Amino acid sequence: NPELEEGGISLRWKDDQTEGESGLERTASRKEDHENLEWIHVEVECHPYLNQRKLLDFCKSHDIVLVAYAALGSQRLKEWVNLDLPVLLEDQVLCTIAKKHKQTPALVALRYQIQRGVVVLAKSYNKKRIKENIQVFELTPEDMKAIDGINRNIRYYEFLLKTVLIPA
């Protein structure tokens, strides 16, 4: 997962071969000494409260697909997240835009990512939600700008930071 560095972004990962032996991390970057590595995608927590703008711009400029998990914030399970953090799907901007388009805040959050060119991992076992997730509608440029404006660099899944370094 990317880590911002002066002059670029390095992509870091745990090496399966060394994990358990030394626990070392390997680093790959877009510098001459690592030109043989081509990154296809980067999967990170990404939602309107953590929009990953710098990372998305980097990925687009290097033909890397950004894949978002937690695109709807969190399920609010106390074992996984800090319950003191705001609930993304209750955000006033998302609710207002949802009402305007006769959609749910969740669908607005998903559509926001899709229009930005982000691949969204949206899991559901509910038939109604699965059908809703494929509904097509478009956000206006004003809607997109308003949602960009609610970025708070809030990371719901901080436990992942214990093993992976990713920028806010």
CA 29 to each of CA 6, 38, 49, 91: distance values in angstroms, whole numbers, following the listed order: 12, 10, 27, 37
Residue 65 has pLDDT above 60, yes or no: yes
pLDDT single digits (tens) 96-110: 999 999 999 999 999
What's the pLDDT score for residue 40?
85
Q: What structural domains and CATH numbers belong to the chain? A: 2-162 (3.20.20.100)
Buried b (16+ CB within 10 A) or exposed e, 143-156: bbebbeebeeebbb
Give the mean pLDDT of the chain.
77
The most confident of 23-27, 57-61, 93-97, by mean pLDDT: 93-97
pLDDT at 163: 46
Report how far residue 86's alpha carbon sits from residue 82's, in angstroms, rounded to the nearest whole number: 9
pLDDT, residue 82, reads: 76
Query: What backbone torsions phi and psi does residue 95 show, to the nearest 5 degrees?
Result: -65, -40
DSSP annotation of 46 = -
Residue 11 has pLDDT above 90, yes or no: no
pTM of the model: 0.72
Task: Decide: helix, strand or coil at residue 70.
Answer: coil
pLDDT category of residue 28 using cuts at 50, 70 and 90: very low
